[in-house]
Amino acid sequence: MSLWLLVDPHLWQQTLVYAAPLIIAALGELIIERSGVLNIGIEGMMLVAAVTCFVVTWQTRSAAAGIVAGMGAAAILTLLLVYYAVALGGPQITVGLGLYVLGVGLSSLLFRVVFGVRTSPPSVQTLAPVPLPGLADLPVVGHVFFHQTLLTYLAFLLVPLVHLALFRTPWGLRLRATGENPRSVDALGISVERLRYGAAAVGGLLIGLGGAYLPIVLTGTFSDNMTAGRGWLALMLVIFGRWMPFTALGGALLFAYVEAFQFKAGIVEKAVPVQFLLMLPYLFALVVLVRIYRGARAPQALAVPYDREARG
């Protein structure tokens, strides 16, 4: 196998395109977790967003309407989670798993109700790449970095924006404090509930955008379980990134790189079992996660229901 394969510009372009939905969803999850709520229903939420985006785009012929609808659908589910977690003080892991299963079933049902059984799959127009003037013509890097869709650019733009929001604004400080020590936030007269609902709404919108990315950028259609574990990967990326946006981005790029690499390697290298190649990105994620998790510190109040009346 040629070493050139490792630095093939097309491999890097694929890395950016396929890392984008992971990083968008991971940022959404990161915001929610920073507020002290653990959302493990992200896979199901992305699926509901994907099907909603596809159905609305199909009906309205407007990608923008589809994306907004997909984002909204996921936000409703995250708000539902936070309602259980905040207002009812329910177990977040149980509710999150319930929402995951709900999302898997609901997305499939919705698609079936709208489209039924066909012999040709319904499809919508995917977003076209928008070359950035001046930059897209640069040799090699121009096509790799600056010949992407608007959503792909947005994914990478969101990383510094979320970082700034979390670490350079009063809202971010309050949100992080809510995830670490909600009692101290409450003592300052700031509503913990409102912050958590706000984080869930923003995070849900981003998770929805990550789900909508799949049909509207990559496939032009919806299929059952099309997220294929990307929601769980986004959840892992938050831990991988130690709840920091830029390190989560690094994880998304690494995973997408290995995933794209195994398809390229599969063409030229037939001696390696195909099952091993298909497993490679997940094996890589597991190994890296085990290494990275050492010393990682989750927000102190993550998954702990806040009761202002409790003695503590």
Q: Please give the residue ranges that form the binding site for another protein (CB under 8 A).
A: 8, 10, 14, 18, 108, 111-112, 115-123, 126, 129, 214, 218-221, 223-226, 228, 259-260, 263-264, 266-268, 270, 274-275, 277-278
| Shortest Å distance, C-beta 108 to another protein | 7
The distance of closest approach from Cβ of residue 24 to another protein in the complex, given in angstroms and rounded to an integer, is 14
Shortest separation between residue 80's beta carbon and another protein, angstroms:
26
Residue 113 vs 188, nearer CB to another protein: 113
Please, what is the minimum distance in Å from the beta carbon of residue 267 to another protein?
A: 5
Nearer to another protein, 173 or 228 (CB): 228
Nearer Cβ to another protein, position 118 or 297?
A: 118
178 vs 221, beta carbon nearer another protein = 221
Closer of 191 and 225 to another protein (Cβ): 225
Smallest separation (angstroms) from another protein to the CB of 155: 15
Whichever of 84 and 222 has its CB closer to another protein, that residue is 222
Residue 88 burial by CB count (10 A; 0-12/13-18/19+): exposed, middle or buried?
Answer: exposed
- Minimum CB–partner distance for residue 220 and another protein (Å): 5
As a whole number of angstroms, the distance between CA 131 and CA 150 comes to: 9
